[in-house]
Amino acid sequence: MAGKTEIGGGRRGRFWRMTPWAIAVLLLLLPLLAMQFTDELNWDVTDFAVFGTMLFGACGAWELAARMTSNKEHRAAIGIALAAAFLLIWINLAVGIIGTEDNPANLMHGGVLAVGLIGAVVARFQPRGMARALIAMALTQASVAVIALIGGLGSTGASIVLAGFFAALWLLSASLFRRAARAQASA
């Protein structure tokens, strides 16, 4: 029974660390499979390389984070933040959030990620500071939507809904980081 009690160790730990990698491989194979059945999807080597690099980066960051903490809330917060960042980048590259993917206003979403990255470094990746960084990301995400709407930069109802979706993900992650910080303080 050794190794089965803790999520981060033993066979169960290997399963949870390998799951994101398996999902990444399946996600990378989906467009290849879809291209066999439809002409609507037409990826070239660059598309696969970018998507593969993004998946590798997200899975590598998740694996590193999973090794750093055994706190479930901390891991969940990291997973949600990584998934949200991944989706924000991917949607922006694929179709764009504000107008089309060619709309330069979409570059403002890079500011959301920059706020998060700077906040994470300043917080030294500790849960209490990460909660603040994710709240700042949610506020930045909302600000991008407001700026695009007021500035007439091609914002639509869908882009406002997406901004709300991402802000909600950042806030959910912040809430989980806050819970992890409380658990860390009481330990």
Which pTM value belongs to this model? 0.86
Distance CA 28, CA 48 (A): 7
**pLDDT on residue 5:** 39
**Residue 6, by phi and psi: left (phi above 0), alpha (psi -120 to 50) or beta?**
beta
Distances in Å between the Cα of 18 and the Cα atoms of 25, 60, 63, 88, 174 are: 11, 11, 9, 24, 25
Distance CA 185, CA 187 (A): 6
> Alpha helix locations (H) across the chain?
10-35, 45-68, 72-94, 108-122, 127-150, 157-186
Which of 103, 85, 115 has its CA nearest to residue 159?
103
Q: If 0-12 CB within 10 Å is exposed, 13-18 middle and 19+ buried, where does residue 50 land? A: middle
Residues of the chain with pLDDT below 50 are 1-8
**pLDDT on residue 97:** 94
Tokens 């999973």 identify what position? Answer: 66
pLDDT tens-digit map of 13-28:
666 567 888 989 999 9
**pLDDT on residue 63:** 87
**pLDDT on residue 48:** 95
